[in-house]
Structure 1
């Protein structure tokens, strides 16, 4: 057998043969392959994982042999579909890879092309598996730990795969949510190609019974978005009112059927802007990974709801209040494990709140907020009369503040704990009126629940036949009581402006902290493309 004349072989398509090596090599061929191996070693030398991979296989070709045709074809197919996943396709352009091999005229050049293909594969695999960007570098309040696959594991997995195409497709998130977002992305792109949703609605507020050009524009927009069957009616009739209500429900708005200023603003959002939300949601889904727990708690900050998910179904949900949109009070994003609740909790006031909010008030009036106990470093309650608050600054104040259990406690009568470095937890609150608001950004960062007792019952049902009685007995004692969860469950605090329900219907929410805008800018800077925005 002989060494194929590589200079005559051009990679014209996915199944093209770049390098064919079979049988024993003559002396000259062995010398030529030494040049190939040397080129691979040099090209891989600055990446420990790639260098180890080729060293372990004695620098044999992984992509550039005749035997690698299926692997090469699968890689090129995956690259050609990268933009469909909202990835920066320029990083792994199949035409660029073909050109790289076509331009290689010597074995040394092909060795360098071999390593270039490996680098492109690893870049693609990392991006589609666990995200294009490092979220903390874009938004400091995204504390999520990203599960990045090891390069050596990716290469070993592909090398062992009987079907390279199946392996490469399996790198994308396997969640139903990702599949639904992918379908919605394609649907939106098709709608944009067909002209979008038509003219904007030129009005501030429209109500049932009205007529006129603005009502016609509203009707046409609802038809284009799929909320209303085609009709020539010119009035704001019952059918249009129901369409507006359905739109409001899908966008987290008060479903009153009136197209007020907030509703009209959301109706007038261009499909290209919604597509950006989809692209960001797909990236966020990649960060979250596949192992979420069959039963878990899910809090979507932008949606102002907390839910318990069991086998993909929502088995409980309640309204929530999240952090204010100011520095140091926005609710962070992360995942953890909820392992206990505290009934009749004390509120240990965070240090930042103590010195920024309460110390100045106590300096002006030592008895301000008298329901808060002053506690020293040994946990002893100190009389306020024994302290001259004017002697201290925010840095030197040596005391902590604590609010004992009571119905008026800032944490209400129960809190749900998943110990974390950010001091974030879910809890009750005496401020019930805030749950009636449409936008609920009022806390210092923790998550307040609208129905905390029912949430507790849902958790306790896994370990007692009488969750209400169990909870009520401990609540009635008035004592602070820790209750461990016999089956701790993961909790995921997420931030999604685009999310689907199990039937695939899209839900959109406002970007209350501006995080998605920052993430989209980072994705675009990385090379993720979106269609130009129209009005």
Structure 2
């Protein structure tokens, strides 16, 4: 936790007693030295200290040029209160899952200590210039990380394309210095969404668990079931008590799988996206034995993902969590509708991006994407050309008005391969249509959309990676009602009539709705419960490794 600012000011006063004073002439020398250092690096961007390049070189050059190379963090040879306030913030960077070693904390502290010793004018000059540059670079780098994240999601193997926030960091720094608002200026750069703040608190809570020794593992063995007795149940009790899933006042040395323990296991299973049956089988045991260090790393990775989001998600927006198999329709900060979803298979991952829903189609046809046609349907057609008729499909050659319907029985399917597939498959509206009764369109380069399904039983599964990339929604009609509410030229009666019929109907939205397809493996739900999910697409490890690396 942060210490009150007045304590740091007291510490500043005591430190200042040891610092040598610098005359006005020497202040000018610092400015001249800053100018020379900046100008020498302007063309080749070679600003470095201790053989380490500074992170925000272009912004540093602009910042100091704009202020005529005057110092930002020193006055009369002494660090200003703002400098110590910044150091206090940087030392707390881990509260946001960021590594303070990226912000020159060690180098700055070393120079503050060296300033206490007797020094000649040349030594003071070099230390002062170094210190000012380090503090400015630390502010710019830390602020940028709060604003956009430490890792560029475009450089990850699985890209995150949601439109990151941007601002003029030089202006932010200048205004913070001029108005003495270091802490406020940096706080305003972090994500505003409640989900981010809740996850920051979860990070603190799990670090506290780690400080208490973490949690023990549960020995491998047969499934543990309600009402049985087993020595491993003592391990289970201690494990759940350490993470707060089992109340602390519960007896921990009992071998009996009693009712309170059953409830604790079920609670643990729910918040880890497991089958909530109170049975400690393979999947539950695996989740129990994930260490607290990994959970902390997982939280840090998801805090970083929050920093990749746009500033404004939209007053009314749809948020899909791929790893959580869930969709939320949010209106003015309130979740108006929550539902399960089905996402892409592990070899046909649903991409991460932001789109804008502009229309929906009632009773849609399914124009089978070529990738699905050649990978999934062609092997079936080679064995059974009647598949097309049975599934209310039509086969075409060509596109648009020039397309020609083909009798699938006239095709020698064994001679067709993915490289010479000239056809297009279209499934007519109806009960067997893969799109179900409605699809929600937000045009995007991935050709991904939300839609109903002809296989609603799949929503009963815990792990729902069954689609070819698009997202099947568990409550399509409730979603359509919210999407179309005061948002279409069609009357509610006309909309209901369209759903009752079998003809295809396109409904344009008066106001587009932002759709955010995201990937959270750790978050805090509306009840304040920390949720974890299995990393279905193996996207956490790459991000965790990059976050652990220093610049």
TM-score (norm 1): 0.86
Structure-2 separation of matches of 1:521 and 1:266: 21
Give the deviation of 1:388 after TM superposition: 6.5
Q: 5+ unaligned residues in a row in structure 1: which ranges?
A: 1-9, 528-535
1:78-118 per-residue CA deviation (whole Å, 9 max, x = no partner) reads: 21111222112211142312334647715466435433432
Alignment CA distance shift 1:360-1:157 (3 Å): farther
Give the deviation of 1:18 after TM superposition: 8.7
Structure-2 separation of matches of 1:324 and 1:56: 53
Q: Report if the CA contact (8 A) 1:340-1:482 is conserved.
A: yes
- Give the equivalent residue in structure 1 for 2:464: 440
Structure-1 separation of matches of 2:16 and 2:519: 39
Q: Specify which of 502, 506, 509 is matched with residue 533 of structure 2.
A: 509
Structure-1 separation of matches of 2:17 and 2:349: 51
Structure-2 separation of matches of 1:176 and 1:442: 31
Structure-2 separation of matches of 1:356 and 1:166: 54
Q: Specify which of 75, 95, 115 is matched with residue 106 of structure 2.
A: 95
Answering whether residue 365 of structure 2 is matched by residue 341 of structure 1, we say no
Q: Specify which of 307, 310, 316 is matched with residue 328 of structure 2.
A: 307
- Give the equivalent residue in structure 1 for 2:201: 183
Q: Report if the CA contact (8 A) 1:43-1:115 is conserved.
A: no
- Give the equivalent residue in structure 2 for 1:453: 477
Structure-2 separation of matches of 1:466 and 1:15: 75
1:207 is paired with a residue whose SS is: coil
Answering whether residue 58 of structure 2 is matched by residue 61 of structure 1, we say no
- Give the equivalent residue in structure 2 for 1:85: 96
Q: Decide which moves more: 77-86 or 287-296.
A: 287-296
Q: Specify which of 235, 249, 254 is matched with residue 217 of structure 1.
A: 235
Give the deviation of 1:144 after TM superposition: 3.0
Q: Decide which moves more: 79-88 or 151-160.
A: 151-160
Give the deviation of 1:436 after TM superposition: 1.1
Q: Specify which of 372, 375, 388 is matched with residue 356 of structure 1.
A: 375
Alignment CA distance shift 1:309-1:293 (3 Å): same
Q: Report if the CA contact (8 A) 1:344-1:478 is conserved.
A: yes
Structure-2 separation of matches of 1:513 and 1:87: 24
Aligned residue pairs, count: 512
Q: What is the CA RMSD across the aligned residues, in angstroms?
A: 3.1
- Give the equivalent residue in structure 1 for 2:547: 523
Alignment CA distance shift 1:488-1:260 (3 Å): same
2:357 is paired with a residue whose SS is: strand
- Give the equivalent residue in structure 1 for 2:439: 415
Q: Decide which moves more: 210-219 or 42-51.
A: 42-51
Structure-1 separation of matches of 2:59 and 2:489: 53
Q: Report if the CA contact (8 A) 2:394-2:405 is conserved.
A: no
Q: Specify which of 281, 286, 291 is matched with residue 270 of structure 1.
A: 291
Structure-2 separation of matches of 1:172 and 1:18: 37
Alignment CA distance shift 1:348-1:410 (3 Å): same
Q: Decide which moves more: 149-158 or 515-524.
A: 149-158
Alignment CA distance shift 1:396-1:274 (3 Å): same
Q: Decide which moves more: 457-466 or 249-258.
A: 457-466
- Give the equivalent residue in structure 2 for 1:49: 59
Q: Decide which moves more: 466-475 or 134-143.
A: 466-475
After TM superposition, the structure 1 = structure 2 runs for residues 280-319 of structure 1, keeping only pairs within 5 Å, are 280-319=301-340
- Give the equivalent residue in structure 2 for 1:40: 38
Q: Decide which moves more: 491-500 or 222-231.
A: 222-231
Give the deviation of 1:245 after TM superposition: 1.4
Structure-2 separation of matches of 1:30 and 1:216: 71
Alignment CA distance shift 1:212-1:439 (3 Å): same
- Give the equivalent residue in structure 1 for 2:87: 76
Give the deviation of 1:53 after TM superposition: 2.5
1:369 is paired with a residue whose SS is: helix
Q: Report if the CA contact (8 A) 2:396-2:424 is conserved.
A: yes
Q: Specify which of 194, 209, 221 is matched with residue 212 of structure 2.
A: 194
Q: 5+ unaligned residues in a row in structure 2: which ranges?
A: 1-11, 46-56, 116-121
Answering whether residue 453 of structure 2 is matched by residue 429 of structure 1, we say yes
Structure-2 separation of matches of 1:13 and 1:513: 51
Q: Report if the CA contact (8 A) 1:41-1:59 is conserved.
A: no
- Give the equivalent residue in structure 2 for 1:321: 342
Give the deviation of 1:314 after TM superposition: 1.9
Alignment CA distance shift 1:13-1:468 (3 Å): farther
Q: Report if the CA contact (8 A) 2:342-2:459 is conserved.
A: yes
Alignment CA distance shift 1:409-1:15 (3 Å): farther
Structure-1 separation of matches of 2:15 and 2:509: 57
Give the deviation of 1:292 after TM superposition: 1.6
Q: Report if the CA contact (8 A) 2:209-2:243 is conserved.
A: no
Q: Report if the CA contact (8 A) 1:324-1:445 is conserved.
A: yes
Q: Report if the CA contact (8 A) 2:452-2:472 is conserved.
A: yes
Give the deviation of 1:30 after TM superposition: 5.7
Structure-1 separation of matches of 2:543 and 2:367: 34
1:134-176 per-residue CA deviation (whole Å, 9 max, x = no partner) reads: 1232232423332243443433443443422211232222322
- Give the equivalent residue in structure 1 for 2:155: 137
TM-score (norm 2): 0.84
Structure-1 separation of matches of 2:536 and 2:445: 24
